[in-house]
């Protein structure tokens, strides 16, 4: 039977279709090039190739977009109908997809974890599982899923991509030195590994190494900013965060205009980066002009209050920034009609108080905003994203405490921020403004 590059059987695949499947996995891992096109070609070449259809469903559902998720469900229904006797591997992936396509991300990750324990060289299972750990903010498993599989990849050329994934997991788990070492090792083996680059950038962000981070990202731009890089806008966003930390607000806005929104991307991940950057700037008093309106319009196709609350939070920022506060509140109304499950729970436990806190902040009700945001920021098990992404909640909370003259809370939050990034000009500015309000 035909096998993939890691030695896993590919029922129904011709040699050409198997090569196309491997190409898709490499593109998925590198965040570069269209990973779906090779799968479409593989399916056309081998209509009974179940793993190609499964990989396509994973790519769709990983978008966290309602439309693409619906597409993944359609693919899954076709797989279940066309492959009544799946292989063991196909069956494991189908079980995970059945959970993921209805928003049960934790269960999907668990199914893949158990499969990977016995089949650590299933590249697709690791790629999908790693993204699930990110989407569920499961820092421990973001690290440990890859660590468990890594010994089985010792002699495989794709091992460097696992090092990049491990680097991000180590960073989110707070093991910054090992994270940077793993990320740099991955980059030595493949300079264009955008995920490994992104992991090192995260380390520098979390350690407050803004100048070094700025220079690192700019110096390596030829390796991650190619037109077909899916991660390029996110890496531009990381550069903008460095400029924010250094007080270089004009440079951050220039990046927004020239790179982050230059192509007016409609991808949810890119919209989230744009909203988070504008919100941070506006919260600290930077005039962002009319930029919110276009962004709010772009969010209307994805924000539904049901698919992924982390996205809904960013959509709410755009709606509020554009003066469309009711659109943000409508997300909470829509969430009430969601089917019972993990995403509905996430919205209830974290999404709702965060969005209500953002609305309260916009209304100038700073005590209410603080009371909503302070507990919500600590519920990481029911919200996605990285520490760097979720910091926008703490950023808003700190500003609410300063503006609301909630002195004890403001001082304690600023002390917390300075303990993590003592050289941050933003944190020093928070401290100086808080002292003036006393």
Per residue in 305-363, pLDDT (tens digit) is: 999 999 999 999 999 999 999 999 999 999 998 888 899 999 999 999 999 999 999 99
CA distance 274 to 271: 5
**pLDDT given for residue 153 in this prediction:** 97
Contact 347, 312 (CB under 8 A): yes
Backbone phi and psi for residue 273, each to the nearest 5 degrees, phi listed first: -60, -45
Tokens of 25: 């996995």
Question: For all residues of the chain together, what is the average pLDDT?
Answer: 96
Contact 373, 395 (CB under 8 A): no
Q: What is the SS3 assignment for 84?
A: coil
Q: Which residues contact 436 (CB under 8 A, 6 or more apart)?
A: none
Domains (range + CATH), the chain: 1-136 (1.25.40), 281-438 (1.25.40)
Which tens digits make up the pLDDT trace of 364-392?
Answer: 999 999 999 999 988 766 789 999 999 99
Q: At what angle do helices 309-321 and 291-299 cross, to 10 degrees?
A: 140
CA distance 92 to 321: 43
| Bridge partners, 9 (sequence order) | 3
**pLDDT given for residue 380 in this prediction:** 61
Phi-psi group of 323: left, alpha or beta (phi > 0 → left; psi -120 to 50 → alpha; rest → beta)? left
Sign of the four-CA dihedral 153, 158, 162, 164: positive
The residue assigned the tokens 């590994």 is 193
Nearest residue to 187 via CA among 155, 153, 161: 161
Residues of the chain with pLDDT under 70: 380-381
């Amino acid at each position: 039977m035909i096998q993939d590059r890691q030695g896993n059987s590919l029922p129904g695949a011709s040699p050409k279709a198997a090569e196309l499947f491997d190409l898709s996995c490499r593109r998925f891992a590198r965040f570069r090039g269209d990973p779906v096109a090779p799968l479409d070609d593989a399916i056309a070449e081998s209509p009974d190739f179940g793993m190609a259809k499964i990989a396509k469903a994973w790519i769709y559902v990983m978008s966290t977009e309602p439309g693409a998720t619906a597409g993944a469900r359609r693919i899954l229904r076709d797989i279940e109908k066309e492959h009544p006797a799946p292989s063991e591997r196909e069956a494991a992936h189908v079980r995970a997809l059945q959970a993921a396509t209805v928003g049960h991300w934790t269960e999907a990750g668990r199914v893949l974890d158990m499969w990977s324990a016995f089949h650590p060289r299933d590249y697709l299972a690791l790629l999908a599982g790693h993204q699930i750990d990110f989407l569920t903010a499961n820092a421990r498993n973001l690290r440990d899923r890859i660590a468990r599989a890594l010994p089985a990849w010792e002699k495989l050329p794709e091992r460097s991509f696992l090092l990049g994934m491990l680097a991000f997991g180590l960073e989110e788990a707070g093991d910054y030195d090992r994270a940077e070492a793993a990320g740099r090792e991955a980059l030595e083996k493949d300079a264009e590994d955008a995920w490994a680059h992104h992991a090192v950038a995260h380390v520098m962000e979390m350690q407050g190494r803004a100048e070094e981070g700025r220079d690192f990202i700019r110096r390596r731009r030829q390796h991650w900013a190619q037109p077909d890089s899916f991660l390029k806008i996110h890496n531009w966003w990381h550069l903008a965060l460095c400029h924010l930390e250094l007080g270089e607000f004009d440079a951050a806005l220039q990046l927004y205009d020239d790179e982050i929104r230059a192509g007016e991307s409609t991808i949810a991940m890119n919209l989230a980066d744009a909203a988070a950057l504008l919100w941070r700037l506006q919260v600290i008093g930077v005039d962002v002009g009319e930029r919110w309106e276009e962004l709010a319009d772009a969010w209307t196709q994805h924000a539904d209050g049901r698919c992924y609350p982390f996205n809904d939070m960013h959509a709410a920022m755009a709606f509020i920034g554009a003066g469309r506060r009711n659109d943000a509140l409508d997300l909470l109304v829509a969430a009430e009609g969601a089917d019972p499950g993990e995403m509905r729970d996430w919205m209830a436990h974290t999404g709702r108080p965060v969005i209500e806190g953002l609305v309260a902040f916009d209304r100038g009700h700073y005590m209410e905003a603080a009371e909503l945001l302070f507990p919500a920021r600590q519920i990481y098990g029911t919200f996605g994203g990285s520490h760097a992404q979720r910091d926008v909640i703490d950023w808003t909370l700190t500003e609410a405490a300063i503006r609301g003259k909630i002195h004890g809370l403001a001082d304690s939050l600023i002390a917390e921020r300075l303990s993590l990034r003592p050289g941050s000009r933003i944190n020093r500015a928070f401290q100086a403004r808080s002292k003036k309000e006393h």
